[in-house]
Each structure stands twice: as C-alpha cells, then as structure tokens.
Amino acid sequence: MTITYSIIAPIYNEFENIPALWQRLSQVMDSTGEPWELILVDDGSSDGSNERIRELAASDERVRPVIFARNFGHQIAVTAGMDYSRGQAIVVIDADLQDPPEVILELAKKWKEGYEVVYAVRSEREGESWFKLLTASLFYRLIYRITDVKIPLDTGDFRLIDRKVVDVMSSMRERHRFLRGMSSWIGFKQIGVEYKRAARLSGVTKYPFKKMIKFAQDGITGFSYFPLQIATYLGFIAAGLSVVAIPVVAALRLAGSHSFEGQTTTLISVLFLGGVQLISLGILGEYIGRIYDEVKGRPLYVVRDAPKKE
Ligand code: UDP
Ligand code: MG
C-alpha cells in the first residue's frame, strides 16, 4: 500500500501533548480518506514521552516511533522523521499543537493543485511572550536581508513537502541544519498558506534563549557570508578613519595643540581595534567550528529504536 501522507512530529518532553496530538491528527487525516502515517521522533525525552510513544505505536500501526539515543535537537529530529518517512507528501508539525492539524487540509489542497512545498505562514501568534515575538520577528527579517536564498517571512517548519523535495533534502547531510532555508534553497514550486498559530497546549517551550541563539547562528552561517564580510567592512572603516586622522593630528601638533596627547588616546584606539579584531576572530571561529563538525562526518543522529527504512 502506498502511503499518501507522512506526518512528522518531533518530540522533546511533550508527555501531556501526545494523546491530544494523536487524536486531533487522526481525526483530520482520516477525513482525507487517504492512507497516512505518523512518525513520532523522540528527541531524547526524559519525562515518559518515550513510553507514551511506544504505547501509541502498539495500539495504532500507523504510528511509527523513532527513538533517539539522546537529545539531538529539533531540526535533526525532523530530519530523522524525513529519513524514515514513506509518504508522497511529508508534513512537519510541532507536537505542542501550536500548529493546528486542521491546517494540513489546506496545505494538502495546494499540494494537489501542483505545489511542491506548501509552507504555513503565521499571520497571528497566540500565547507567546513579547520577547519571543520580537526576537522571532527580528530574526526572520535579518535572515531575509542577509541571505541569498529568500526564506519567506514569519514561516516556521510547519509545512507540506512533496516526496521529491524531501528526497533532495535528505541527501543534504549538513549537520547544522536550518530546514526552512534548505527547503527554499532547493526550489520547486512553493506557496504559502496563512494560519493562526495557537498557544502551546501544555508544558513550556523547549527553545530557551540559548537554543534560539544557536538556531539563529545556524541559519545565518548556513546561508550567508555576511558576518565574515563585516570584518572587511570594519577594516576599511578603521583604515579610512586613520588616513583622515593622521594628517589632522599632525597638523594640530604643528599648530601647537595638546588635544591628542597621553595614554588615554592610545588606550582608546588599542581597545577599539582589539575589540574589532576579537569579534572578527570569533566570527571566523563560528565558521571554522562548523567546518570542523562537517569534516568529522559523524552521523547526524543515533537511534535506539526505529522502524525499518524502506
Ligand atoms: N523539540 C525537539 N527537540 C528539541 C527542542 C524541541 O524535538 O531539542 C520539539 C518540541 O517537542 C516541539 C517542537 O520541537 O514539538 C517545537 O518546539 P517548541 O514548541 O518548544 O518551540 P517554540 O514553539 O516555543 O518555538
Ligand atoms: Mg511550540
């Protein structure tokens, strides 16, 4: 039997949300009248989500569990889901029900019209802190400006992707993954569908500030050289300033002025340049660290338990 829809939900400590997720998803997916599967990727949960996923899989054969050996992160969990998926259309959805399963029907409609990537655009977001809204909004706009691929604004990973796009995505084994960027990079016919992002059903966000920063860094370094070019720009600015400043200071000295004397002047310029150089080194380090990770060529994830790949 060929499966039409593979739904992928990454799960990191979502014990309370799993039954509701399964219930709402199965209701929506059954209404399509087409065969579907639900791939639940347990990303090293420690709250019993693991057992819950296994129970669900034992009672419903459409549920296929992929259990990680530890926490590998959201983007990697979704990647694993794609690796194990068998459907003609793959839907990525959050397990906390912030992405309403009912929207999948609208995504599927566009897919049937011939679009190969149908991404869901957040027209409204409920129940999120002003800090999250502000940082998310800034991030989407920053990344839109500085990357070459045009990643649609206010769009997360909630989307439907055709099998042929997923096959390309799965063949891209980069470790610092930014899936929405990769999906834009691949191309094909893409379209957005607006939806209202709900509040989390239960529990707290699994994206604390530190993870958000890392996610942003992965997105930026993965799709842009702009941070590397900042060093060049700053270098030109500093050199330009000194070209102007040297004759000015020399002239002032000749005229008998005492304005640029003493240690303070030296200290300020040394600290300024030292700062610029250290920041540039740090940016270089970010890229080099990522190159090092790629070169090691370790597997993206380790599974404790997973269905057979087909
Ligand atoms: N998630 C995951 N691994 C992680 C962090 C999050 O699999 O290390 C999952 C999480 O269980 C949820 C989805 O990724 O299904 C989105 O996470 P969350 O809702 O916490 O992010 P937010 O919506 O707050 O940005
Ligand atoms: Mg969420």
Domains of the chain, by residue range, sit at 5-224+299-305, 226-295
Question: What does the pLDDT read at residue 101?
Answer: 96
> What is the rounded distance in angstroms from the CA atom of residue 52 to the CA atom of residue 49?
5
Residue 45 has pLDDT above 90, yes or no: yes
Name the percent of the chain lying above pLDDT 70: 100
- Is residue 260 over pLDDT 80? no
25 contacts 101 by C-beta, under 8 angstroms: yes
11 lines ligand 1 (CB under 6 A): yes
The CB of 156 under 6 Å from ligand 1? The reply is no
The highest-confidence range among 65-79, 201-215, 216-230, 261-275, by mean pLDDT, is 65-79
| CA 3 – CA 86 distance, rounded (Å) | 6
Cβ(96) to ligand 1 under 6 A?
yes
Q: Which ligand is nearest to the CA of 95?
A: 1
- How remote is the CA of residue 207 from the centroid of ligand 1, in Å? 6
Nearest ligand, measured from the Cα of 14: 1
Q: What is the mean pLDDT of the chain?
A: 93
- Give domain 5-224+299-305's CATH superfamily: Spore Coat Polysaccharide Biosynthesis Protein SpsA; Chain A (3.90.550.10)
The pLDDT of residue 310 is: 66
* Mean pLDDT across 233-250: 89
In this predicted structure, the answer to whether residue 235 has a pLDDT above a threshold of 90 is no
Average pLDDT over residues 249-268: 84
Average pLDDT over residues 196-211: 89
pTM of the model: 0.89
Residue with the larger pLDDT of the pair 8 and 136: 8
Is-contact 276 43, C-beta < 8 A? no
